[in-house]
């Protein structure tokens, strides 16, 4: 028999930082189901975003090589970006793919939306797989990062995964959703 778990009750919430639109920090007083009170439970509000595993008509993955300040290194990422307020995640994914790469797709699969940080909240990463992508425009990026767009074969990307070239959890999760068995094999070779 499964025990019924209950949510925590937020008794008070106080904003500590408002760096809108990128980050808000709150401290909450929460009451646990057993009656204990936690006076300082920190929460983050960050914009949700779309991540796209985009494959061209010839089956190559559209990948960025860029510096990301979180892991403080150059690594591989996939197209994507923040959702505008009240924007549908699929529409954001379509917009971001076009803006960042100049590519569009008529074939989209939604892979779900997932909270990035289990305890502090933060953003939801909306994952998508786009196939048959074709270029219709030049990329127009206003990102801070210098970006090199690569078109990688399955073998090249799996080799990069095995070498640890993807440092962001959301990115390895995305490629894993699409190529689950191949990723497991590539990562198992890395940790032997």
Query: What are the sequence ranges of the domains in the chain?
Result: 9-45, 49-189
Closest CA to 96 of 135, 127, 141: 141
Q: Cα separation of 33 and 67, whole Å?
A: 43
**Class of the domain covering 49-189:** alpha beta
Give pLDDT, residue 180: 77
Strands (E), the chain: 9-19, 23-31, 37-45, 49-56, 61-68, 73-77, 80-82, 103-104, 107-117, 121-135, 147-152
Q: What's the whole-number average pLDDT of the chain? A: 89
What is the value of pTM for the model shown? 0.85
Give Dmax over CA atoms of the chain in angstroms. Answer: 58
Higher pLDDT, 183 or 149: 149
pLDDT in tens, 27-45: 999 999 999 999 999 998 8
Q: How confident is the model at residue 1 (pLDDT cuts 50, 70, 90)?
A: confident
pLDDT in tens, 134-153: 999 888 866 656 788 999 99
Length of the chain: 192
pLDDT of 186 over the 90 cut: no
Read off the pLDDT of each residue in 52-57 and give the average, rounded to a whole number.
97
Read off the pLDDT of each residue in 80-100 and give the average, rounded to a whole number.
94
């Amino acid at each position: 028999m499964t025990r019924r778990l209950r949510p925590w009750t937020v008794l008070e919430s106080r904003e500590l930082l408002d760096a809108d639109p990128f980050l808000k920090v709150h401290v909450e007083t929460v009451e646990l189901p057993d009656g204990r009170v936690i006076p300082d439970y920190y929460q983050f509000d960050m914009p949700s975003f779309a991540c796209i595993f985009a494959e061209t008509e010839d089956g190559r993955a559209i990948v960025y090589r860029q510096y990301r300040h979180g892991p403080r290194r150059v690594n591989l990422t996939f197209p994507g970006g923040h959702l505008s307020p009240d924007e549908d995640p699929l529409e954001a994914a379509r917009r971001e793919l076009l803006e960042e790469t100049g590519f569009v797709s008529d074939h989209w699969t939604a892979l779900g939306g997932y909270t990035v940080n289990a305890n502090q909240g933060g953003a939801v990463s909306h994952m998508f797989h786009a196939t048959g992508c074709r270029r219709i425009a030049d990329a127009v990026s206003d990102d801070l990062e210098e970006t090199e767009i690569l078109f990688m074969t399955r073998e090249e990307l799996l080799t990069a995964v095995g070498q640890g070239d993807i440092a962001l959890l959301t990115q390895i999760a995305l490629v894993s959703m699409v190529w689950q068995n191949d990723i497991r094999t590539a990562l198992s070779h890395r940790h032997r």
